[in-house]
Amino acid sequence: MSSVPVLQVSDLKVHFTIANGLFSPPTIIRAVDGISFDVSEGQTLGLVGESGCGKSTTARAILKLVKPTAGSVHIEGVQIDTLKESKMRPLRQRVQMIFQDPYASLNPRMTVENIISEPLSVHDICHGDDQRLEVMRLMDMVGLNPRYMNRYPHEFSGGQRQRIGIARALAVQPKLIVCDEAVSALDVSIQAQVINLLMDLQQQLGLSYVFIAHDLAVVRHIAHRVGVMYLGRIVELADSDDLYQSPTHPYTQALLSAVPVPDPTVSQQRIKLVGEVPSPDSVYPGCPFVDRCPVAEDQCNHTVPSLTPGVHQVSCLVQSIDSPADSVEVSG
């Protein structure tokens, strides 16, 4: 196993500017506001958080589908955020993406064979009969009957369409796959099948994943490490078991308390957050979670917390790894 991380993100920021007219200053949307993490070979990093916290923007920045405002993204040691598109193209073989909506991410005018073979042609990997055999192999690998290769996406179920998307991502033999809410549009039983398929492929091929989701139970099942995002920042980052058994940040604790436990004999205390998620166009002199935090102190209003170093990192002025508040454990 290589000592160089497959993915290394350092102080990544993605800000969008919205014009407000000729005489008004523009609005700055801080979608991602200084996050850092890395993903090792064969490892899965889960990113969780409420809608609008910057998870999908992070995914797009990793693939250079949006340009970072600041910070850096390295794929196998190569910094990609400063590369020209001509030099970026070979690196796109190393990182692929599985999109959220299997109904919208596949071209309805193309057969399954054409969809899966397109990246093989674009990257000049194989052609002709070899390409057709490779499509059949990929379909078999993801649990689809190769005899269906001449069918169109509308002839498949949602779970089967997502398997087509997975086969397309695998076609170029990537090292890293970014799964952006890859199972959120599927029902629970199909979710389990797709998650198990992703885990099997990881074992077979040594893949690394960035797995973005809002379902904490799903993330616990697949992720080795988990990062919790809030308003464009990572507020807690730890090994999966450690984070779920001993959540430290008040936001993480609130998220985990909302996960239902499938045991009527187990009592569960729900931590309710008051108010709405703040707007990413606002500037906060202190902790951005202060208005919703149940344990906030005066210092939280004017001091911005930073992630503590170590294996279990948390960005909080009140809670620490050594003295977490009432921890909430979620069943996997």
CATH number of the CATH domain containing 290:
3.40.50.300
pLDDT at 329 over 60: no
* Domain assignment of residue 56, yes or no: yes
pLDDT at 324 over 60: no
- Indicate whether 36 belongs to any domain: no
Residue 111, domain member (yes or no): yes
Q: Examine residue 232 and state whether it is found in any structural domain, yes or no.
A: yes
Task: Please give the tally of structural domains in the chain.
Answer: 1
Cβ atoms 167, 141 nearer than 8 A? yes
Q: Which residues of 94-129 are buried (b: 16+ CB within 10 A; e: fewer)?
A: bbbbbbbbbeebbeeeebbbebbbebbeeeebbeee
Average pLDDT, the chain: 89
Local confidence band at 316 (pLDDT 50, 70, 90 cut-offs): very high
| Mean pLDDT score, 35-54 | 94
Mean pLDDT of 235-258: 92
Provide mean pLDDT across the span 127-151: 95
Please give the pLDDT value at position 251.
93
Question: What is the model's pLDDT at position 331?
Answer: 45
| Helix/strand number for the chain, H first, E second | 9, 11
Residue 105 lies in a domain: yes
- The total number of residues shown for the chain amounts to 332
Residue 328 located in a structural domain: no
pLDDT of residue 320: 65
Q: Which residue has the higher pLDDT, 103 or 43?
A: 43
Residue 332 has pLDDT above 50, yes or no: no
Of the candidate ranges 27-31, 85-89, 296-300, the one whose mean pLDDT is the lowest: 85-89
Predicted local confidence at residue 102, as pLDDT: 82
Which one, of 100, 55, 61, lies nearest residue 82 by Cα?
61
Average pLDDT over residues 171-180: 95
Compute the distance between CA of residue 147 and CA of residue 132 in angstroms, rounded to an integer: 12
pLDDT at residue 304 above 80? yes
pLDDT tens column, 68-88: 999 999 999 999 988 888 888
Work out the percent of the chain whose per-residue pLDDT is above 70: 93
Q: What is the mean pLDDT of residues 134-155?
A: 95
Say if 4 falls within a structural domain.
Answer: no
Residue 19 has pLDDT above 90, yes or no: no
Average pLDDT over residues 84-99: 88
| 103 is a domain residue | yes
Contacts of 312 (CB under 8 A, 6+ apart): 236, 237, 238, 239, 242, 243, 246, 248, 321
pLDDT over threshold 80, residue 261: no
71 vs 103 pLDDT, higher one: 71
Structural domain that includes position 145? 41-69+83-314
Residue 132 pLDDT > 80: yes
What does the pLDDT read at residue 2? 64
What is the structure's pLDDT at 172? Answer: 94
Q: Percentage of the chain surpassing pLDDT 90?
A: 64
